[in-house]
Amino acid sequence: MKIASFNINGINRRLGNLIDWLEAAEPDIVCLQELKAAQEAFPSEAIGEAGYRAVWKGQKTWNGVAILARDADPVVTRDRLPGDAADAQSRYMEAAVGGVLCASIYLPNGNPQPGPKFDYKLAWHERLRRHATTLKKTGAPVVLAGDYNVAPTDIDIYPTKSYVDNALVQPESRAAFKKLLGKSWTDALRQKYPDERVYTFWDYKRMRWPRDAGLRLDHFLLSPPAAGRLADAGVDRDVRGRDGASDHAPVWIRLR
């Protein structure tokens, strides 16, 4: 089973890129983030013609998450992260597909920091940690996939001082990610590439893509039953270099 995560950064604007990648990569499950489309504006017909059935939680202009499954119907178990009834941002969707429970996650960016956006980021992270513990206790193979908006360590960002004040690399952000991982969850990409600089995001500014000035912001966290089935993991870097590309590249894992 091949599971992918892709911050598409505007699904309708980049629909052609998405369809081309789906046809070439043939993932079984896809977790999308940053749809930037209202619920009724999701391109379900085009996705269906590509062979995928979808569930999604849209939001006009910002956010938005979806889960696609090839020749299968994702069974939604949650379309919002528990813990804050007042939180109306579309950042979390969870569905069962083929015996695996997958979550598509778009964690808050948190900039500028310090400030209310950073506080929201850390609070959201803690809500996710608590819910992840609940999911782990089910004993099911769980995959928490998405854009976490954190570069967990210095090896997850190109050598630079330009991000020193950015929420993506703050000690509090990194500590929250480390706490989420704990001793139970496996960081799939880091498991596969323990000592390599593996990037998933390259900002549009300052020629960062041509310079390979990237960050690893997109992660797969696997519960023990899922981690025991991990066969491979990678990043489809070439997708980032295409015309009109998202600033993220698709990330994927294979489970036995």
Residues 111, 5, 64, 172, CA torsion sign: negative
User: Which among 28, 52, 147, 199 is annotated as catalytic?
Assistant: 147
Prior bond to 141 cis, omega within 30?
A: no
Angle in degrees, 0-180, between the axes of helices 171-181 and 116-136, rounded to the nearest 10 = 10
Distances (CA, A) of 25 to 63, 131, 233, 248: 24, 31, 13, 16
Residue 106 designated active-site: yes
Main-chain dihedrals φ then ψ at residue 48, nearest 5 degrees: -65, -40
Beta bridge partners of 251: 5, 235
Q: Are 81 and 124 in contact (CB under 8 A)?
A: yes
Catalytic residue among 106, 148, 158, 199: 106
Catalytic residue check, 120: no
Q: Which residues does the annotation mark as catalytic?
A: 106, 147
